[in-house]
């Protein structure tokens, strides 16, 4: 989970002698480095920062970089792609980690994995501070990231706004962080779904989830327009069938669930409470037979976009129209 990204060692001192930034999420790796640099410069405005890639740190180079200075200045040494360091340089680093120099903060940036693991193990054994920066792979993790970004900036955003932003922007954390920063700079008060829509309309319309929402609401023309826009802007057809499946399944799960408060249903169905409210509004025209028809349409479209048909676009259009009709079966 993203919560683990912020989790650090109990002795969480950014000026620790050695910091490991481990993972493959570039934004989080950069932030881990920036945190150390900012702390060092807060302690000493004249801090000397050396930012190097593995090929720039040659055997013997560490001794020169860590040698005492006439001016006794604080230093931050950043080594990126630490997994690519030569064996002799790794030997130098292991020796240094065992006896670090005062007022020097060494930051090793490493993707994790087997390559260069010996250096990681040595640093961990030596008590290095570690910041985990794993790649975000789940929508829920990106949603948590957006919420944390708003919170870190001291701003409030509704759950629907956070979800809309993730749907509109996608999986790139840098772009999500930039969008949060722009919204908080430009908008006063609580940021809601309407605000996100105004700022990111083009991207939201290209979202596969926007196609699904319009389809399950029975708005065939709007769903087809959103579908064509999505395909024209490069959205993968398989993402659209996935969104359609999620939308129809949510209708089916909620329609067969016991009545109750959104919070109770959220726990029972594994959905956030705000989504319960949205799906309740979307399911008004649905019948059990309609859900069955829509699920078959999604399955056929999924087969069509994965090679079972000659025209993925037609398969998706057919599914969208069928789902929109099913959404009106009770009207």
**pLDDT, tens digit (0-9, with 9 covering 90-100), for 23-73:** 999 899 999 999 999 999 999 998 999 999 999 999 999 999 998 766 668
Give the span between the Cα atoms of 56 and 156, in whole angstroms: 44
pLDDT in tens, 183-230: 898 888 999 988 887 777 555 445 688 889 899 999 999 899 888 887
Interval 268-300: pLDDT, tens: 666 666 677 778 888 888 999 999 999 999 999
pLDDT at 12: 81
- The C-alpha atoms of residue 214 and residue 198 are separated, in whole angstroms, by 18
How many residues does this entry show for the chain?
A: 331
pLDDT at 68: 75
For the record, the structure tokens of 267 come out as 């726990």
Listed residue (207, 204, 212, 213) closest to 301, CA to CA? 212
pLDDT for residue 235 is more than 80: no
Contact partners, residue 305, CB within 8 Å, separation at least 6: 237, 238, 240, 241, 312, 315, 316
pLDDT in tens, 102-141: 999 999 999 998 999 999 999 999 999 999 999 888 888 8
Each residue of 147-182: pLDDT tens digit?
A: 999 999 999 999 989 988 887 777 788 888 988 998
Q: Under a CB-based contact definition with an 8 Å cutoff, are residues 195 and 181 in contact? A: no
Which domains are delineated in the chain?
Answer: 18-133 (3.40.50.300), 139-200 (1.10.8), 208-327 (1.20.272.10)
Q: So what's the pLDDT on residue 1?
A: 37
Position 142 pLDDT exceeds 80: yes
On the question of pLDDT at 7 being above 50, the answer is no
Q: At what angle do helices 26-43 and 173-186 cross, to 10 degrees?
A: 60
Tokens 């395909």 sit on residue: 231
> What is the CB-side half-sphere exposure of residue 71 using CA atoms within 13 A?
7
Reference 75, options 85, 84, 64, 86; nearest CA is 64
**Token output for 45:** 């405005």
> Is the Cβ–Cβ distance between 45 and 156 less than 8 Å?
no
**Structural tokens at position 254:** 């909620």
- Going by C-alpha positions, the residue among 230, 252, 249 that lies closest to residue 312 is 230
Q: Residue 217, Cβ neighbours under 10 Å: how many?
A: 21
Predicted confidence at residue 207, as pLDDT, reads 66
Q: Which residues of 48-67 are buried (b: 16+ CB within 10 A; e: fewer)?
A: ebeeeebeebeeeebeebbe
**Helix, strand or coil, per DSSP, at residue 10:** coil
Of the candidates 17, 3, 19, the one whose C-alpha atom is nearest the C-alpha of residue 120 is 19
CA 65 vs. chain centroid, Å, equals 36
Burial class (CB in 10 A: 0-12, 13-18, 19+), 221: exposed
Tokens of 278: 């949205």
Q: Above 50 in pLDDT, residue 94? A: yes
Residue 161 makes CB contacts below 8 A (sequence gap 6+) with 191, 192, 193, 195, 196
pLDDT at 276: 75
Whole-number Å distance between alpha carbons of 93 and 98: 9
**Alpha-helix residue ranges (DSSP H) falling in the chain:** 3-6, 26-43, 61-65, 87-98, 117-125, 139-152, 159-169, 173-186, 193-199, 201-205, 208-216, 220-232, 237-255, 262-269, 273-282, 288-303, 312-326
Q: What is the mean pLDDT of residues 301-315?
A: 82
pLDDT at 18 over 90: yes
């Amino acid at each position: 989970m993203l919560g683990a990204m912020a989790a650090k060692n109990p002795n969480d001192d950014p000026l620790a002698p050695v910091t490991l930034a481990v993972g493959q999420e570039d934004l989080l790796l950069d932030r881990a480095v920036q945190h150390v640099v900012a702390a060092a410069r807060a302690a000493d405005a004249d801090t000397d920062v050396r930012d190097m890639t593995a090929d720039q740190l040659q055997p013997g180079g560490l001794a020169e970089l860590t040698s005492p200075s006439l001016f006794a200045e604080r230093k931050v040494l950043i080594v990126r792609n630490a997994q690519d360091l030569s064996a002799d340089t790794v030997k130098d680093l292991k020796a240094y980690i065992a006896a670090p120099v005062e007022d020097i903060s060494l930051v090793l940036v490493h993707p994790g994995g087997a390559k260069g693991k010996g250096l990681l193990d040595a640093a961990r054994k030596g008590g290095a501070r570690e910041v985990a920066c794993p790649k975000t792979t789940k929508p829920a993790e990106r949603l948590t990231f957006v919420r944390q970004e708003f919170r870190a900036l001291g701003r409030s955003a509704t759950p629907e706004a956070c979800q809309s932003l993730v749907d509109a922007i996608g999986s790139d954390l840098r772009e999500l962080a930039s969008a949060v920063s722009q919204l908080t700079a430009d908008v006063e008060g609580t940021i809601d779904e309407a605000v996100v829509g105004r700022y990111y309309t083009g991207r939201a319309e290209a979202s596969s989830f926007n196609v699904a929402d319009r389809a399950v609401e029975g708005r065939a023309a709007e769903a087809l327009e959103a579908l064509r826009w999505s395909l024209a802007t490069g959205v993968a057809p398989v993402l659209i069938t996935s969104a359609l499946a999620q939308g129809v399944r949510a209708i089916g799960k909620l329609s067969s669930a016991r009545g109750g408060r959104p919070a109770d249903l959220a726990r029972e169905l594994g959905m956030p409470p705000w989504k319960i409210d949205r799906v309740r509004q979307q399911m008004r025209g649905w019948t059990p037979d309609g859900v069955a028809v829509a699920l078959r349409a999604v399955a056929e479209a999924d087969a069509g976009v994965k090679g079972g048909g000659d025209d993925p676009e037609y398969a998706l259009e057919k599914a969208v129209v069928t789902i929109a009709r099913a959404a009106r079966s009770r009207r």
